[in-house]
Chains A and B, each alone.
Chain A
């Protein structure tokens, strides 16, 4: 049993598969040789941190190189980084200017982003009329997202004359085609009875379609319908479940469930194997340490077990096991068994993502919503240091 754990651990500690590593090296070479497409791709990989260590600062450098060569996608992406202050000092005005340059390419997505900046007044004075014009252009180019956003402006009478019929018309196409935000907005119109007869049942139908795609606001809206028995039989339990899914926890102190990560590439954690795990973990096997930590907190989430699990994950994370890194990140993020520290938590999830752990990127980006850009930048830097240190010890 112990030998099996150990063997799996060693193959994973190497992290990147050779094929992927080669691609990154090739990209790097081509980017340095000045190829625009490679510069953009490398920057994108660095921003997402998939199979490579996420680093917004380095991403910004390569976006800037490509942007300087006139690449609109790079200009657009760099603009977004300046607006948020990720990898570069926050400078919304500069970010807006870059979005504007990118939009000159006429690409629908870039028009949409510029329109959104006008709508929300990011890096520029809010100008809903200009936003409406740009959304319409992008919509005409076939971007459903923009069609829906234009609908929002008509529904609220922002920058255009309020026109609910027009809004419904704009939402309907994308909603039928499965666009979650359009479905949710249509549902809201039926709830309020704006320009149509109030129809709770129709609203429930649209909210449900959007909720099934995981849109948090739709989950909440559907929950409200269940809680009040609007258009559907009253069901408080279902309402609570939906609120939880929407990430609202529950008003009466219910904590959000801890999102542990199981590595599908490894044996699934098995509560009946605790003794075997314990023996192997004490012998220093990282996989057993991760499995034991996982079982401990998923079966008996006590304070003591969180602390033990955090130590187990830390030992295995230091040994390079991505699943342990991700779970250490989660515990650190939630401050369970360790000091709550978003920077440290993000650092470990970044390292786990670079190690190719499925699901780690999504989790990292969900948790990032609670962080400031300074924290994310600091986490990037800390991850870089840990990454280098780990490579030196493993060589």
Chain B
């Protein structure tokens, strides 16, 4: 026997949130300078002062290895910030630690960030917290913010929301924008401080003012929806533009699409395409889809099916439903790509995961036409045929009927809904009820729920609380929450004898299965 439980880690979710706010240090790959005779410490100093980090880096190693603390610090700093050479996390950690060990008290925050973003190794929160605490003593605003974040999530230190608030607050008061955005969050949730919407708004505005593109985006949403702020399209647009200028990916996509279509702004396809390209280059699937649309329709660019397909594919491979549906169509029609039914089917299926009814209908058609032969049809094929049948396609309904006749209870379930509710055909209540009963007996939980509902209300079958309770109980045992509730409501209307009878029937049904 083996029992499985789902791990639920709230801490993990919070951690991810923190990492998202701290931002990963992006490595920049630069050419390593040639190593020659080690220059004198004086000439390295001069290069550092002049901002010629490449030259400084080249000359520092020998001095760092000779144990000069300032050289160790500077080498670590350049490795950790990718200045004058490639990003080197381990090298940076090593030299910064070496300098600190010799009481060269600088670079605490940088080193702490290297520990916090220590992917793929496990981040070292404890060491990061120690370093941040040292930097906090020096009054460093950024350090207050990061240490506050650690107190908020309880990593490297004992979790303490109030302390987290206090530290983040200090950083916010010092004008550090990410901290100000965090304060807006904390005031609106009441985290570590009494909830206070006015304060939340004030900090959000401050953060936006100081260039936090997240805060600007948040204000964009709030002003355009009228949540927390009076609805104001002009102000919303202003913040959206600021956020997009600050490189906020979602802002670039939204603003880009607006310019492209001339929605809310004067149409400017060039500006729109430029913004969309920026977001698309960072992998934003919505922007990629918009670019696909621009090429497919020739909006602002020369019509180009091949380029359209390329953009759609980037988005579809990320699972974006709309893009997957269109790409499936392109593959089926051989537009911009070579006609390929297998690829079309693959992308339609991706679209069905996003509950695209159109994709289900397309797949249903392919089964109906025999393009997907019976031996290649996946188990979910019956769902697609049913969705197509609901559009009124008689051939699909006939196919469902044939499947039902060969003992597929799911086909009965969908026929039950179609005839009971008259979906795509005239309603035929007794016929619907008959199919639903077969499906319920065949073990389809949704059909068992439906039978409970129908028997309780006398819809299509005789009103019978005992039968209703029986089906609700069976569906509940099969994991239906709605059935648990229905069973409770029914029991309140029934006598103990009726409940006993219903339970006996449910038990007999399950034993006979």
The verdict on A343 contacting B499 (CB below 8 Å), with A315-B1, A335-B484 known, is no
List the B residue with the shortest CB-CB distance to A300.
B8
B6 neighbours in A (Cβ, 8 Å): 304
Shortest A349–chain B CB gap in Å is 16
How distant is the Cα of A371 from the Cα of B503 in the complex, in angstroms?
11
Q: Which of A58-66, A111-119, A177-185, A276-284 contacts B (4 or more CB under 8 A)?
A: A276-284
B492 CB to closest chain A CB (Å) equals 10
Q: 18 interchain pairs (CB within 8 A)?
A: A253-B485, A255-B488, A278-B3, A282-B1, A303-B479, A304-B479, A305-B5, A307-B479, A308-B3, A312-B3, A315-B1, A335-B477, A340-B476, A340-B477, A341-B506, A342-B500, A343-B503, A371-B500
Query: Is B376 located at the chain interface by the 8 A CB criterion?
Result: no
A370 touches B485 (CB 8 A): no
Interface check A236, CB cutoff 8 A:
no
Q: How large is the interface on B (under 10, 10 to 19, 20 to 34, 35 or more residues)?
A: 20 to 34
Contact with A along B486-509 (1 / 0, CB 8 A): 011000000011011001101100
A308: nearest chain-B partner, CB-CB: B3
Checking B2, B481, B488, B503 against A303 with a beta-carbon cut-off of 8 angstroms, the contacting residue is B481
The A337-395 residues at the B interface (CB cut-off 8 A) are: 338-344, 370-372, 374-375
Distance, CA A194 to CA B243, complexed state (A): 74
In the bound complex, CA of A300 to CA of B5 (Å):
11
What residues of chain A lie closer than 8 Å to B213, measured between beta carbons? none
CB neighbours (8 Å) of A255 from chain B are 488
| A304 closest partner in B (C-beta) | B6
Are B500 and A339 in contact, with the CB atoms below 8 A?
Answer: no
Number of A-B residue pairs at CB separation under 8 A:
70
List chain B residues, Cβ under 8 A from A9.
none
- Cα distance A342–B473 when bound, in Å? 12
Chain B 1-36 interface 0/1 with A at a Cβ cutoff of 8 Å (1 = within): 111111010000000000000000000000000000
A162 at the interface (CB under 8 A from B): no
A residues in contact with B506, CB < 8 Å: 339-341
A31 at interface by CB-CB < 8 Å: no
CB of B3 within 8 A of CB of A282, answer yes
Interface centre among B1, B3, B474 (most CB of A within 10 A): B3
Taking the nearest CB of chain B, how far is it from the CB of A35, in angstroms? Answer: 38
Which of A74-106 touch B at CB < 8 Å? none
Check B484 against A336 for contact (C-beta < 8 Å): yes
Whether B510 lies near A372 (C-beta < 8 A) is no
Q: Which chain A residues lie closer than 8 Å to B507 at the CB level? A: 339, 341, 343-344
Instruction: Contacts A255-B488, A303-B481 given; indicate if A342 touches B5 (C-beta within 8 A).
Output: no
**0/1 interface trace, chain A 249-277, chain B, CB 8 Å (1 if under):** 00001010000000000000000001000
Q: Nearest chain A CB to B470's CB is how many angstroms away?
A: 10
Given A253, A311, A344, which contacts B3 in the complex, CB threshold below 8 Å?
Answer: A311
A283 closest partner in B (C-beta): B1
Cβ contacts under 8 Å, B504 to chain A: 343
Q: Which of B1, B2, B479 has its CB near the most chain A CB atoms (within 10 A)? A: B1
Interface of B is mostly: helix
In the bound complex, residues from chain B placing their C-beta under 8 Å from that of A296 are 5
Q: Which residues of A contact B (CB under 8 A)?
A: 253, 255, 274, 278, 281-282, 284, 289, 292, 296, 300, 303-305, 307-308, 311-312, 315, 335-336, 338-344, 370-372, 374-375
Tell me which of B8, B477, B500 contacts A372 (CB under 8 A).
B500
User: Which of A303, A335, A339, A370 contacts B510, CB < 8 Å?
Assistant: A339
Q: How far is the CA of A338 from the CA of B481 in the complex (A)?
A: 12
**With A335-B476, A339-B506 as given contacts, are A284 and B1 in contact (CB-CB < 8 Å)?**
yes
How far apart are the CA atoms of A338 and B476 in the complex, in Å? 8
The reply to whether B499 and A282 contact each other, CB–CB distance below 8 Å, is no
Given that A372-B496, A372-B497 are known contacts, is A341 also in contact with B503, CB under 8 Å in the complex?
yes
Q: How far is the CA of A79 from the CA of B488 in the complex (A)?
A: 34
Taking CB as reference atom, which chain B residue is nearest A284? B1
Chain B residues with CB below 8 A from A278, complex form = 3, 5
A340 in complex: contacting residue of B473, B479, B496, CB < 8 Å: B473
| A340→B484 CA distance, assembly (Å) | 9
Docked pose: A371 CA to B487 CA in angstroms:
16
Closest residue of chain A to B2, judged by CB?
Answer: A282
- Docked pose: A304 CA to B6 CA in angstroms: 9
Given contacts A253-B485, A339-B477, A341-B506, are A274 and B5 in contact (CB under 8 A)?
Answer: yes
**Max chain B CB contacts within 10 Å: which of A282, A303, A308, A340?**
A340
A255 CA to B1 CA, complexed, in Å: 32
Closest 5 CB pairs of A and B: A339-B477, A372-B500, A372-B496, A375-B500, A340-B473
A253-B485, A335-B476 given; A340·B5 CB < 8 A: no
- Other CB < 8 Å A-B pairs besides A339-B474, A340-B506, 6 of them? A274-B5, A282-B2, A292-B5, A308-B3, A339-B510, A370-B496
